[in-house]
Structure 1
Amino acid sequence: MEKKKVAEWLAQGSVVIPKLLLNHYKRLGLNEGELVLLLHMQSFLEEGVTFPTPAELAEKMTVPAAECMEMMRRLLQKGMVAIEEHTDERGVRSEKYTLEPLWEQLVHHLYVQEVKNGQSVQQEEEESLYTIFEQEFGRPLSPFECETLAMWIDQDGHEPAIIKAALREAVLSGKLNFRYIDRILFEWKKNGIRTIEQAHDYGKKFRKPKPSARPAKQATGEFKQTIPFFNWLDP
């Protein structure tokens, strides 16, 4: 094989096929024939042929021109391809195809999928939150308590992780009730507490042991160890 021939082949360039399009064309409502037609259109556009005819497309494919025309009609109806009008400096009007709607639909599809995935993760976190509360309370939550949990998330905008941290704070303080947890969340939100780290540091400063003149003695002579406690319900 002559090196010159190989060089000519390489000089023809290549068509870049986005992997995202290969992975998601089915979800966009495209079949294999329409996908290949779009790739040939992309190739024509890169070569400067802005308005390839069905006959020119059929020469690249295994289907007749009439079928290429039908596929093109469907792509236009689906909003995957658009026709733009162009007027040059001499005032001559012409038309050209653009695949920009295809890329816009692909980006929109990926965005919607990302939102759905985020909602699915949040739903799992919320379901886990209900389970954790029931485990800590040792019983099923009442309808009022379930409504309160939903209010913390939907109306107050607390992340499930922050609510779990408030639950832990209530457990450490020995005040396992919804009124106490609600007060903790209120104080945190008022003071701009938005992350687990901030909540941990904010709670830790209230649990620091205060120095006393003389430690309390038990009857056995041992010093009694006390756990610092902050009552979030105090004004």
Structure 2
Amino acid sequence: MDRNKIIQWFREGSIAIPRVLLTNYKELGLNETEFMLLLHIHSFIDSGITFPTPEQIAARMTLSPETCMQQLRKLVQKGFVAIEERIDEQQIRSEHYSLEPLWEKIVRHLLKEPLREENEQEEELYTLFEREFGRPLSPMECETLAMWIDQDEHDPLIIKAALREAVLSGKLNFRYIDRILFEWKKNGIRTIEQAQQYGKKFRKPPMKQEQGAYKPTVPFYNWLEQS
């Protein structure tokens, strides 16, 4: 065996796995595949690779890159991993994985704080978005949803209403939905009723039915044009 290779293995060091994670991952709602994937992300971050690709992670596991991507998306969706953005001294933006949500879940589990109702609401929201978009959400899109809830503190019902507004407007994309949520928050919109009342100010009345023909219309307000 190559002596230099053995020395390199020792130089790579080791990672510390919290015993509380090892003994409680099942109660946290993780299966073995998700648990192992989290350990690999932890290992990559510890070695200075803060945003490993699915191909890099899959190379260490028995998963294909496609399956690895699906599992990563689930971990973000379930609130175990976050994708955060950094800006360096040269103002270059980059993304990196954060395991802070995982540690937060462990703390809440140890303190026996309720998680189930909150998780069910968020999972329902992700399911709704995937149904409307007609495809699985990417990890970055899952993280955007998590940010709307955790950082911007939008109620899931308001997010659903913004999604419906985007669907009716024929502008189904995250940028448009984010703009709607921004405008609603700026104008103090906190409930479905307030959102409906606010939207009426910008909607044109439906076209009158002409003789011999009916022309259905769905009036909408272009939120991206709001300054």
Q: Relative CO higher for 1 or 2, CA cutoff 8 Å, sep ≥ 6?
A: 2
- TM-score (normalised: structure 2): 0.48
Structure showing greater radius of gyration is 1
